[in-house]
Structures are given as C-alpha cells and as structure tokens.
Amino acid sequence: MPLLKFYPTPGFVREEMHLFKATKLTAGPAALDDDEKIETILVDLPKALEMIHSGEIRDAKTIIGLLWYNQQPK
C-alpha cells in the first residue's frame, strides 16, 4: 500500500522516494552482495521509535517512514 512520496535531496537532484507499507511478509534468506554486512532484526513500532530517539536507527528513509506512519490515525 503506498504511504508517502518525498524528495531526499531537493534542489540537488529530482529523485523521488516512495514509501510503502508491506503486509503478509514471510521471513527468508537475504540475497546480499558479497561485500554487504546487514543484520536483520524484527522489532515492533514502539521499539523502532525508541531506536530512532536513541540514535540506533539513523537511516533517513527509515526514520521518515516510521515517524510518518506513527502519526497516522489508526
């Protein structure tokens, strides 16, 4: 489901980012590049918001998506 569209670097490039809500996902092996080191962890929304405020989550796209989603009427 589409959630939000934004410009990560307005005035520099015309790239648009689109955020979606994914549902009915299942866990599986990651298809990483040889030089990628990514750890996947599952957390609920309150924990993810706590991780933003503590500085554990620093990726702008993730922060924008989580904060925007948290502000929507349930």
Per-residue pLDDT tens digits for 1-51: 788 999 988 888 889 999 998 899 888 888 899 999 888 889 999 999 999
Cα 74 to Cα 70: distance, rounded to the nearest angstrom: 9
Residue 29: what pLDDT? 87
Query: What's the predicted TM-score (pTM) here?
Result: 0.78
Does position 74 have pLDDT exceeding 80, yes or no? no
> For position 73, what pLDDT does the model report?
87
DSSP 42-71: ---HHHHHHHHHHTS---HHHHHHHHHHHT
